[in-house]
A and B are shown apart, each in its own frame.
Chain A
Amino acid sequence: MAYLDHAATTPMLPEAVEAMTAQLTATGNASSLHAAGRRARRTVEEAREALAEALGARPSEVVLTSGGTEADNLAVKGLYWSRRDADPRRVRVLASPVEHHAVLDAVHWLGEHEGATVEYLPVDAYGRVHPDALCEAVARDPGSVALATVMWANNEIGTIMPIGELAAVAAEFDVPLHSDAVQAVGQVPVDFAASGLAAMTVSGHKIGGPYGIGALLLGRTHSPVPVLHGGGQERHVRSGTLDVPAVAAFATAARIATEHRERFAREVGALRDELVEAVRTAVPDAVLGGDPHDRLPANAHFSFPGCEGDSLLLLLDAQGIECSTGSACTAGVAQPSHVVLATGTDPDLARGTLRFTLGHTSTRADVEALAKAIGPAVERARTAGLS
């Protein structure tokens, strides 16, 4: 088996498994006042401090959620509602068109149901939002912007956004900028305080932590309207009993991922470069997606002319090579990726995409297996053509 889909999810780090299992047998609701509750609370707060430390935030800025999707929804919807409540003119939502569906669909929903005017920011051929583009969009009418949202690094094509510069533009107009940094943590330097962002999404299972846990880092001046109402456990913006074992494991994974980030970027990046070279050698007309240099070190993305991505996936899967077309599935039906289309790629070419993503368990053997299989698979998929 060659697992080349770490951006979908990556194996849990042994230390995170250990942290999690250690907590699974302990009883205690972190909101309870008795000893069991205090013990759980202490575990949660230590984890919160570790997360804050790893991500350049204050502990009070860490709002724990059930994962990246919930954090994105809380940021986008919650900030829209609170900003509009404070000033009803604020109905414009500025978003990059290459966002993950957790942001894109939330933004779209606001447009459909909450009177938002959604504006998609232009991107270049690498899928990057330029600070000038954000500036121009905001400056058209700064008083009507509820929020802007631009991901830190793209989950499909790996392009890294100039988040610091974008946040500076937003700050100039006093507009909150949210960023989905789910793919960035552990691969590029991510420092919430230094970034100037109002809110930032992170997730556990993409960095060697467990599924079902994530966080929204939220500047202290921002109070989004809750999406989940209830006990108000997390700063009164997020309710629900905290999953103590998952929180502990998430913090452990975040600490290790950021500690090892430089080495990861160097070693996995070198392996990724070998992968790109191998694919190009086997399939000379394969088109690398995203920025060739300023991209996530673990990401490689290709379009294969004349191929259906689905066909390639099937053929590689049959040989034990696991990757992704990178595009969103609807009941399993692959549509050309909105990200690839947003970069101006020809729609036919956009149907033949594959994303290979490496991680902490990747080896040279994984890359060699792909190098051997990709040429014949592309040849065969071309015979099947575009149905």
Chain B
Amino acid sequence: MTETSPRPLRVLAAMSGGVDSAVAAARAAEAGHDVTGVHLALSANPQSFRTGARGCCTIEDSRDARRAADVIGIPFYVWDLAERFREDVVEDFVAEYEAGRTPNPCLRCNEKIKFAALLDKALALGFDAVCTGHYAKVVTLADGTRELHRASDEAKDQSYVLGVLDERQLAHAMFPLGDTVTTKDEIRAEAERRGLAVAKKPDSHDICFIADGDTQGFLASRLGRAEGDIVDESGNRLGSHDGAYGFTIGQRKGLRIGHPAPDGKPRYVLDISPVNNTVTVGPAEALDVTALTAIRPRWCGRAPEGPGTYTAQLRAHGGETEVTAELVDGGLRVSFTEPVRGVAPGQAIVLYDGTRVVGSATIATTTRRTAAALS
């Protein structure tokens, strides 16, 4: 019932240049697998390999990954997946924001790049599995079925961003960090003990292709400025903005509305309408979502039949909430036991049964408790 296979596998370890993926590769090699390291060059602009711009795929990260692979004693290559990444992740990210939605590019990258483009090439070249530094657990049942579970250390758990993996992708996934309850400090200590120089490297949190962390600036450079109105729930104009794509549902800061609400309470973004370039704001209560529909469901195993009760996670670092979910016409209908706030179309909803990931879908519409709220 553990992930460790008695049979040595040919494993391709995706190495970002960070500490997690380096330790993951080292653990896979130590477990007796035949491991080859690969760093994915994802930069849209190959020039940055010469200029050394910061980001997920700079020359520095590539060298850090290579250095780690050398210490572990495994072959190492850099694969250029920049074109696929640009098409499947970056352009999708921009298009989603342009449509008023809030995408998660990490899920997209796992679905389309790491466990698609990379995995397919790995399998074609004779590898059995792709290994990453994600904190999640793969459990193999007696009948050989594989399940994706939250990491043993739930505080570190990253199963949310892997919720897009289907059964086939999961069959070839290896997450050596998910099996142990390990704090980040302990992972760093393990890296240090293994002689990996990345032990002290700072964590990366930002979206890798937006090197300076300025998502708004990135979107503005791609989509241009488009001044529009900020209105209240009744349509009264309260202020203006430079582009509706710059807002996220539930956002409170940066609205730049000069005067306070009549009741003196803070106002939040309730709705983003890309068609007429309008941002609607209102009180916190109006954010309460009681139900949603989601499209493109993907199941980590068999699709559930009939309505079921699950826990759901709506953001990468969000908490769990109880839902009932049902497949209707190929999409997902979800109702929340208790209303939740800050739910935005474009986000992924990942369903869990206990610690097991059941599947995920992309949120399309939400139903608000307050009748006046838009959806």
Contact = CB atoms under 8 A, between A and B. Distances in A.
A-B complex is real: yes
Interface of A: 310-311, 313-315, 317-318, 329-335, 380-381, 383-385, 387
Nearest to B52: A331
Interface stretch (B71-79, B156-164, B211-219, B300-308): B71-79
A330 to B, nearest CB: 5
A332 B39 contact: yes
Closest 9 CB pairs between A and B? A332-B78, A384-B124, A331-B49, A383-B124, A331-B59, A331-B62, A333-B80, A330-B49, A333-B41
A330 B78 CA distance: 10
Interface in B20-74: 36, 39, 41, 46, 49-50, 59, 62-63, 66
Name, among B66, B78, B121, B125, the residue most crowded by chain A CB atoms within 10 Å (CB to CB): B125
Contacts of B84: 387
A374 to B, nearest CB: 15
Contacts of A317: 75
A336 to B, nearest CB: 11
A225 B41 CA distance: 39
A307 to B, nearest CB: 11
A204 B63 CA distance: 27
Given A330-B49, A332-B66, A384 B41 contact: no
Nearest to B75: A317
B36 A314 contact: yes
B117 interface: yes
A334 B75 contact: no
Contacts of A310: 77, 79
Given A311-B125, A314-B125, A331-B59, A387 B81 contact: yes
B8 interface: no
A296 B104 CA distance: 54
Interface size class of B (residues with CB under 8 A): 20 to 34
A315 B80 CA distance: 17
A385 B49 CA distance: 24
Interface of B: 36, 39, 41, 46, 49-50, 59, 62-63, 66, 75-81, 84, 117, 121, 124-126
A329 B117 CA distance: 22
Contacts of B66: 332
Contacts of A311: 121, 125
A315 B75 CA distance: 11
B121 A314 contact: no
A315 B62 contact: no
A333 B77 CA distance: 8
A347 to B, nearest CB: 14
Nearest to A313: B77
14 contacts: A310-B77, A314-B75, A315-B125, A315-B126, A329-B78, A330-B50, A331-B49, A331-B62, A333-B46, A334-B80, A380-B124, A380-B125, A387-B81, A387-B117
Contacts of A318: 36, 75
B70 to A, nearest CB: 13
A252 B75 CA distance: 35
B121 A380 contact: no
A303 to B, nearest CB: 18
A380 B127 CA distance: 11
Given A313-B77, A331-B62, A380-B126, 10 more contacts: A310-B79, A331-B78, A332-B77, A332-B78, A335-B46, A383-B124, A383-B125, A387-B80, A387-B81, A387-B121
Contact of A384 (B62, B63, B77, B125): B125
Contacts of A313: 77
A380 B123 CA distance: 10
B78 A333 contact: yes
Nearest to B81: A387
Given A317-B75, A318-B36, A333 B125 contact: no
A331 B125 contact: no
A335 B41 CA distance: 12
Contacts of B117: 387
Contacts of B124: 380, 383-385
Contacts of A383: 124-125
A191 to B, nearest CB: 38
B77 A314 contact: yes
